Amino acid sequence: MKNFGVPIIVCIALCLVFAACKKETDNNIINTGDGTTDTDVVAAGECGDGVKNKNEACDGDKIDCSTLGRYHIEQISCLADCSGYDTAKCDERDPGDRCGNGVVEQEFYEICEIGDTKPCTDINPNFVEGDLATCADDCKKFDTYSCALAGTDTCKQIYECVLLCGDAACKEACIAEGSEEGQQRYATLMTCFDANCASGADVKECTEEYCSADYYLCFPSELCGNGTIDEGETCEKGQTKDCGELDPEKYKAGKEALCNSICTGFDTYQCIDINALTCYEVYACVQECGADTACVDACRAKSYADANTKLDTMTTCYEEKCSNTDNGCYDENCQFQTDACKTHATCGDSVIDTYEMCEKGDTLDCGQVDADKYEAGTADATCNVNCTRWSTLACYGFCSCQEVYNCVEQECGGQASQDSECVSACKSLGSKDGKANYNAWRTMILSCCETDQSGNPTACGFESQNCIDKANQDIGCAAGDNAKCAY
């Protein structure tokens, strides 16, 4: 009897392969052979439509390796099957290594984060101006591979060496140790000095006045900071520029980039990546993680130091002051912390975003803020630090001096009250004149003392009727009957 087992098994296997190939072809999915797939026609709502749908890890977008907690800032693409990102270009790092999470953590001896840059001359003045060092993969130093040394001695260093010499041989040795560029610049400077300056004149002082071009080639760092944007400079010391204006496709608006130490560009250490999550976005992301700590770490890694610090402040307040998830408790006890998180990275960008009521620098007549509470036309409210409400500290109420007086008597236990918060609350009810008169009246009494014949104080402040009588005579406290005053 013949054995048909093997041929049948082979046949079945070939059929399965054929069916799988047919299915793959029917779906227009082509295996690229490197673990990824490609598509040419994809139905709407599926992988390839540019929208991250349910069961998709990504769809057509790119992220940095550091977002996934790996080394290198290089952008990596979403796989063609939307199952994740192509991490072949990223280097794995130890799970306990916090470098790459977007936060410079000094307790772990970090001095920078992946993606940070620094002018080479900030690290070593002997480097050529204009190049940038990049944060090393261990976040413990800046790599200076792209920095170029100007020589062991620059023109400035040759000058400083020669200055200390007492004979010609010493001077020649100083020049010989200099770089080629340094020697050329020093020679040009001294040629100009000999042609324009008297013998014995101060080299720096004279050449700065008569040979400024050659002088600043020898002392380039002195040109930066002279108040003028000279040739080769893009900014001046102390000058700042909004990160969003500097590079709107790379950075969020609201943070300031600072002109670097050699005036060749702006340092972007404080700038926020356009795709980085704000504090409240991180909070929303973390809420979906539940007890999954890896998920929480991934959410935080998508943000940066400011966001995570504000998130920690908010959650600490929640934990300390609210034992449950009652939003009323949060609003009452942690409103400031919540507001700071909600408007992080948006307050100050000149746009009234979600959760914001105003923008930094905005003002509004107090009467427009609350016509029933504040006197119009007397002062302006200012937008608060979180852009979430109007600060009315400068606003005036409607009560006269006497009515403020009545408030202190009824609410604070009398004019001699030590409850400064209560007294301040009563003062805030005063009109412009009412508040000013009551404040002057009260200040006069508190600064007044009766004395005996030897000049020693016997009674002070509200303990002295004479002090009270004098204040009543000099200032008085007029009454009023404004219907909007509570007293």
Structural domain range at position 335? 279-342
Token pair of 323 as six digits: 């034992």
Query: Residue 409 corresponds to which tokens in the numbers above?
Result: 């008597």
CA distance 22 to 9: 20
User: Is 307 part of any domain?
Assistant: yes
Closest to 461 measured CA to CA, from 471, 448, 451: 448
pLDDT at 457: 86
Question: For residue 399, what pLDDT is reported?
Answer: 95
In this structure, the number of other CB atoms found within 10 A of the CB of residue 145 comes to 8
Is residue 237 within 8 Å of 259, Cβ to Cβ?
yes
Question: Is residue 240 in a domain?
Answer: no
Is residue 267 a part of any domain in this protein? no
Q: Are residues 470 and 440 in the same domain?
A: yes
What's phi and psi for 39, nearest 5 deg?
-135, 150
Evaluate the CA torsion angle 44, 50, 53, 55 in order and state its sign.
positive
Task: Give the residues across from 76 on adjacent strands.
Answer: 63
- Note whether residue 235 is domain-resident: no
Quick one: 75 and 42 in the same domain?
A: yes
**Full-model pTM:** 0.47
Q: Give the distance from CA 370 to its chain's centroid.
A: 33
Residues of the chain with pLDDT under 50: 1-44, 73
* 127 and 150 Cβ atoms separated by less than 8 Å: yes
pLDDT of residue 469: 93
**Quick one: 369 and 329 in the same domain?**
no
Domain assignment present for residue 111? The answer is no
Residue 399 to residue 481: CA distance in whole angstroms: 8
Reported as a single tens digit per residue, the pLDDT across 204-224 is 899 988 988 888 888 876 777
Greatest alpha-carbon span in the chain: 140
For residue 270, being part of any structural domain is answered with: no
- Supply the pLDDT for residue 129: 63
| Residue-level pLDDT at 268 | 78
3 state DSSP class of 258: strand
| Alpha-carbon span 256 to 340, nearest angstrom | 18
Tokens encoding 458: 């016997």
Cβ neighbors of 189 (< 8 A, separation 6 or more) are 155, 159, 203, 207, 211, 214, 215, 217, 218
Residue located via tokens 């009957």: 481
373 shares a domain with 328: no
pLDDT at position 42 is 35
Residue entry with tokens 């996934």: 68
Does residue 273 form part of some domain? no
Give the Cα separation of 409 and 432 in Å (integer). Answer: 20
Residue 47 shares a structural domain with residue 74 = yes
β-bridge partners, 473: none
Q: Which of 46, 70, 89 is the endpoint of a domain?
A: 89
> How large is the C-alpha radius of gyration of the chain?
36
Q: Is residue 319 part of a domain?
A: yes
For 198, residues 6+ apart whose C-beta sits below 8 A from its C-beta are 206
Q: What is the pLDDT of residue 13?
A: 44
pLDDT score recorded for residue 91: 66
Q: Are both 34 and 60 inside the same structural domain?
A: yes
Count of domains in the chain? 5
Contacts of 415 (CB under 8 A, 6+ apart): 405, 408, 409, 442, 445, 462
| Angle of helix 305-321 versus helix 335-342 axis, rounded to 10 | 150
CA 365 from chain centre, in angstroms, equals 30
